[in-house]
Amino acid sequence: MHVAIIGIGLIGGSVARDLRRTGFAARLTGVGSSPERAQIAQDLGLVDRVTDLAIAVREADLVVLAIPVDRIVRLLPQVMDLVTDRQTVTDMGSTKKAIVESIARHPRRRRFVASHPMAGTENSGPAAALDRLFENKVAVLCDLEQSAPDAARTVEALYAALGMRLVRMDAATHDLHAAYVSHLSHVASYALALATLEKEKDDNAIFALAGGGFASTARLAKSAPDMWVPIFRQNRTALLDAIDAYQRQLQALRTAIDANDESAMRTLIEEANQIRRILR
């Protein structure tokens, strides 16, 4: 199979690594907006070559969009204008509703499969690409009833090659769930980093005390705004719902701590401990 990957950074580059390793792709073509990153991707062997969008799409059996979600919304209709009934297109964006709506009435809509591999790191660019980044993680396929069966099978095979488990749901449900288990984590991490950096202005020694707990919680704050501002904007309604729920729980903890209420603190922590049922 000939695969074209639009966006050869962390996600696109990691996809390319595994598709080459598993033999899923006989040829890998990249499309990138930065000549410097394109050269790095070729030097690292992530893709066989980098070319322009029209050529890459025309030659590909499968087209993968691995770019920020605002750019997916703008570029996806152009990609769908170029494909034929023998080709499949998928995206790897962290939001889904705005993306599927961007081509809802496109005559080639059934050649598109909306998807989201739930994997990543705080790093970016082709040099950040990793082997087996997706292995044993979940990929979400959305609104499959709107995709041609052969296109769906192609994307299912793609994620099987990446070693992922598949979950199917509609785009709106995906965005609500993603707000809680992915997007809110970034909001909380950015807020923690901002609060700590604000304190650091008055006390330069604060980071000398930072241990593994702080590092793991604040790690996501290193994620780039070019990726996350569009996600926050596209998933604004669901994310605000998640932030409100988070603030209610944060206020409950603050109230218990302020009142020195050991019983309330213990109850809240024990309730939070139930996350072990999900995170083992």
Confidence of residue 205 (pLDDT cuts 50, 70, 90): low
* Domain extent listing, the chain: 2-169, 174-277
- Name the superfamily (CATH) of residues 2-169: NAD(P)-binding Rossmann-like Domain (3.40.50.720)
pLDDT tens column, 154-200: 999 999 999 999 999 999 999 999 999 999 999 999 999 999 888 87
Which residues, in sequence order, are CB contacts of 55 under 8 Å at separation 6+?
29
pLDDT tens column, 97-114: 999 999 999 999 999 999
Q: Does domain 174-277 have CATH number 3.40.50.620?
A: no
pLDDT of 203 reads 63
Residue 264 pLDDT exceeds 80: yes
User: Against a cut of 0.85, is the pTM above it?
Assistant: yes
Confidence of residue 35 (pLDDT cuts 50, 70, 90): confident
Do 75 and 5 meet the contact criterion of CB atoms below 8 Å apart?
no
Q: Which two tokens stand for residue 100?
A: 């599927």
Residue 11 pLDDT exceeds 70: yes
pLDDT of 204 reads 64
Cα distance from N-terminal residue to C-terminal residue, the chain: 37
pLDDT of 33 reads 79
Q: Round to whole Å and give the CA distance between 9 and 126.
A: 4
Query: Measured between alpha carbons, how far is residue 211 from residues 22, 217, 273 in Å?
Result: 38, 10, 21
Residue 202 pLDDT exceeds 80: no
Residue 39 pLDDT exceeds 90: no
> Could you tell me which residue, 217 or 6, shows the higher pLDDT?
6
